Structure 1
C-alpha cells in the first residue's frame, strides 16, 4: 500500500515539474498547453513521458524534450527519465486546459 501512495506522490511531483516548463512562444506551461499526452512510471521509478510539440517543425523541437527530461530527473524519487515525441494525434488548441485558454484570452 505504501508503494502506491509513493507512486501517486511521485506522479504529482512530476506534474508540478512539468508545469514549470514553458513553450517559449506561448506564455503557458507545456502541461496546461496539452503537450503532455501521458506519463508512465515503472516499479524502478523510471519515467517515460509521451509528449508532442505544437508543430513538427517547432523551433524548440531539439531542446524542449531535453529540458523536460533534465527537469524530471532532478526529482529525488526519479531514477531516470525519457521523453518520446509523437505527432499522433497532432496537437490542437482543443488539447489546452481551460486555464491555458483563459490565459491566452480564448475564453
Structure 2
C-alpha cells in the first residue's frame, strides 16, 4: 500500500471520527464536545489505532468518569479502527476561547 493511499485513508478516518465526536454532548451544555473545544487532537497511526487527546471543562467535571468512556466506545464503533485510546489532559486548561463560533452562538456568547 502506498503512503499516498494511507494518508487519504487516515484523513477520511479522521473525518469519520470527528463526525462521531459531534454526536457526543456535554450533559451540562447543549453543544457537542467537538464544537465545545474539548477535543485537542486526534491521532491515527498506520495500524489504524486512534488516540484522542481531550480535556474537560474542569477537573471536577461531573462526567469526568463517563465522558471519556463514551468517547472511546462511540469512536471504537468505527469498523476501520483497531483500537482507540482516550487521554485526558488539562494542559492547556479549557477556556471558552476554545469553543467554535457555532458553539458560542448557540450559548449566546456572541
- Mapped to 2, the partners of 1:17 and 1:92 lie a distance apart of 23
1:79 Cα offset (Å): 0.6
1:4-83 equivalences in 2 (<5 Å): 4-83=7-86
The yes-or-no answer on 1:98 pairing with 2:84 is no
TM-score, with length taken from structure 1: 0.98
4+ runs deviating over 3 angstroms: none
In structure 1, the gaps of 5 or more residues are none
TM-score, with length taken from structure 2: 0.96
* CA-based RMSD: 0.5
The alignment partner of 1:28 has SS state of coil
1:32 Cα offset (Å): 0.3
- Mapped to 2, the partners of 1:74 and 1:88 lie a distance apart of 28
